[in-house]
Structure 1
């Protein structure tokens, strides 16, 4: 899969704008009957589904709406021009409306992945050779279920649609969040029974879905079951975590930064599921450094481009870390220097000093702490595009999910060593006792800018009850899901808006 990067999609019609949009795109002229002779030929269609799902991990809108509205991510407008977007600010302030353009683009991205998976699955199932590649079919089903996991998380009551084409005379209607949960659970459980284990295929299979990758997704699904359905599924979440742990394949990297280097992909001990990136061959692009870093990082890291000085984090995120915590070194704040300690200065000789954002409408260029999520070490650049693979799930998440379940079940003694294992890796001091707030904050430290914070804050309740810079009031619980985009309801009157929107 790492080297299969050219999308050879079959002559299926792909629904591009989700199950309410009717735009169509034609890929090639080969039919399933004549094309799918081997597993590799079948896999070439599934590559496109992987690439579309990667929007939940890269700088695309699905990632943005997973991070905007949390206490670790903001994009202020700049006094020097650029970056101001009221749509993003409304998400940041928990004031999203149905006509929000950012959430609308995210909907299209998620449902394009689902629609493509539907088309690919229809073609695979139509092939007379489908019995020869059950694993590829299982992959496509799991990838579609992954898309629905995110759709359910963001919008709750979304339509379950599994056909390759929409009948304009019979447009889909909403399913309840609980129904979508059951669909995702069923699809993933059926897929995981077919997929190979990383015990047998880790090196040769990367970065395709394995049993353990789907177990990890199911652990996330079950951990959030009470939010999604009203009923907890902690026993199931614990079982999925143990499935990954007992595989004996994964462990923590010595340094958390190693997970985000371009040189640590196939051989990672910790990464469970990631997306292969190779911009030189039009197979995705990692643009974290382009969007997040200050302009002077061009000279600090000898980059072939000038970063756009956009994405920032809050003081609240920085203050979570102990000074000795190695993870804190990836946050850029205060006077900036080169690795050798020399001041990082502009062409006037003024040292860059990063301060908290004071004005989210018209911030100065040095306002906003930064997160160096994907490091430039070992990168092969294609313009401003890096080739660091995009990480979605890693072993630290399994350990902290298991710790949370154990703690919620009243077994703090078993949970504490798991949290301390993650902390010790980054030289954070060992905890002597454990509360749910400890677990939430540890997840925030460990997974900053990995698309997990909104989901975590909703599960722990802090999304609604806590305030932070610029977000100064409590949030009603109905804002735990976004409004279904107004343009989708206009296109499909069968859809009903989420409550209170």
Structure 2
């Protein structure tokens, strides 16, 4: 079964106010159907449903329809986890632009002129800390003492709940990883703290140490890679978080850890994942069957309707002139040209080496001008058709607005490119020969098995890897982090259209490498301090 949760999952909220990081964003019950904790956990399957609630926060925003949110005072569209993550990691870069700048927060993000009052920062900060709150509450309610007091004695159930607890700890670690990456700090709260506790501020070093220790502690007790129910995490997913931390450790804590990254990647790559024979099958309505998917954010047009990243991207990909929505599995007009490509991304596919590259085929120039001199002009700039609400066999999803396409948070291709980067950066345990093999596997997949676009070790430079990551992983939530790691995000060594609010791009200051702590969050938690430059 693709989806492990339904809209009723937020019974986890019970009658409690599970506070995230700001008082006005408490996770509160929305109706009279919310039970007390003891009543809820006395029901058959309660722990499975509670577990689904922690996972569900990554896809859903509230207990009702796609427009509802259990975060008070925050719109569902600016607080959906995957959508906010995509906005922050991609809309702030050279890959994409959003046409409707009246939508709260988007103008400032894509022009890199944001402030601490941007609602998307508040949405991401609050949704992520809500994940921490939900995880903490599950851990409080599933201790051996709690289970004993409720008469839970079945050995199989006890074993399952023990596994659930390890998975929830990974989900909490993922949330803190996002906070470390995006904001550089976070209020730190665990299940050992009381409800409504205003956690102390942890900096990147403290968060890095905590996440590293937490993941290493739980990995042995997680299910082996590719053995868990789809939608639930396993050892490989936890190792990918560690690998990402180690890959970016020089940014996060000032200490390179590329060798440690390779050690995690070797475990993931050796776990039985394989590349999908068709690149685009990673982005279809049935992409949950892709053999390279390590972990994804679930979406379902019927069961888990949400305004998440794939719903936004697929509807937004529909061109203003092309009206190509039917081919993408949504309404013909979609969202009327909401998303377009910045010139610098398109140019990464220039040259004979990409003449037959399938990844390039998703870029649709038509009669369009590559330049975007007026963001409001939806006819300017090329469009993309990478994601589809259509299965690999051509069957459209059941809903023409809310899509069935899952968002690939981690997939094998990323692990290959991470390994290649570590090899170039001199990591022990990684060889350039193996790195070339991994990159060429992606090149051959993109060229229908043809090796004409393959590279040699001499081609494997850091600049090549940064561009190849964009060619392979565009619109998958990696670009901002990659540009920062390669020292291309701030400053003026690499500019793109509308960077710094200049039509051709201008230099931006180094403080923008981390986002500001939302004003409301600081007001509610006196332990939090603002990042420099804001």
Give the structure-1-normalised TM-score.
Answer: 0.86
Which runs of 5 or more structure 1 residues have no equivalent in the other structure? 78-82, 336-352
User: Take 1:379 and 1:210, find their aligned partners in 2: how far apart are those partners?
Assistant: 30
User: Take 2:305 and 2:409, find their aligned partners in 1: how far apart are those partners?
Assistant: 17
* Equivalent in the alignment of 1:459: 485
Structure 1 vs Structure 2 CA RMSD:
2.6
User: Take 1:493 and 1:124, find their aligned partners in 2: how far apart are those partners?
Assistant: 31
* Equivalent in the alignment of 2:465: 439
Please state if 1:270 is matched with 2:292. Answer: yes
Aligned length: 470
Structure 1 59/373 Cα, relative in aligned 2: closer, same or farther at 3 Å?
farther
SS in 1 for 2:397: coil
Please say which of residues 291-300 and 14-23 is displaced more in the overlay.
14-23
User: Take 1:180 and 1:155, find their aligned partners in 2: how far apart are those partners?
Assistant: 11
1:33 offset after TM fit, Å?
A: 8.4
Give the structure-2-normalised TM-score.
Answer: 0.81
* Equivalent in the alignment of 1:450: 476
> Does structure 1 retain, via aligned residues, the 8 Å contact 2:265–2:419?
yes
> Does structure 1 retain, via aligned residues, the 8 Å contact 2:338–2:378?
no
SS in 2 for 1:175: strand
Which runs of 5 or more structure 2 residues have no equivalent in the other structure? 61-78, 500-504
- Deviation string 1:96-124 (CA, Å, 9 cap, x unpaired) is 21112222222122222222222222222
SS in 2 for 1:213: helix
- Deviation string 1:291-337 (CA, Å, 9 cap, x unpaired) is 232251135557446311212221111111223211011122223xx
Structure 2 counterparts to residues 13-412 of structure 1, below 5 A: 13-15=16-18, 17-18=20-21, 21=24, 23-26=26-29, 28-29=34-35, 31=37, 35=41, 40-54=45-59, 60-77=83-100, 83-85=101-103, 87-125=105-143, 126-128=146-148, 129=152, 131-132=158-159, 133-163=161-191, 171-198=198-225, 201=227, 205-247=229-271, 249-265=272-288, 267-282=289-304, 284=306, 286-287=310-311, 288-295=313-320, 296-298=323-325, 300=327, 303-304=330-331, 306-308=333-335, 309-321=337-349, 322-335=354-367, 353=368, 355-360=370-375, 363-377=376-390, 378-409=395-426, 411-412=431-432
SS in 1 for 2:527: coil
> Does structure 2 retain, via aligned residues, the 8 Å contact 1:76–1:357?
no
> Does structure 2 retain, via aligned residues, the 8 Å contact 1:19–1:111?
no
> Does structure 2 retain, via aligned residues, the 8 Å contact 1:212–1:272?
yes
> Does structure 2 retain, via aligned residues, the 8 Å contact 1:115–1:164?
no
SS in 2 for 1:273: strand
User: Take 1:387 and 1:302, find their aligned partners in 2: how far apart are those partners?
Assistant: 10
User: Take 1:86 and 1:382, find their aligned partners in 2: how far apart are those partners?
Assistant: 26
1:407 offset after TM fit, Å?
A: 1.2
Structure 1 3/440 Cα, relative in aligned 2: closer, same or farther at 3 Å?
closer
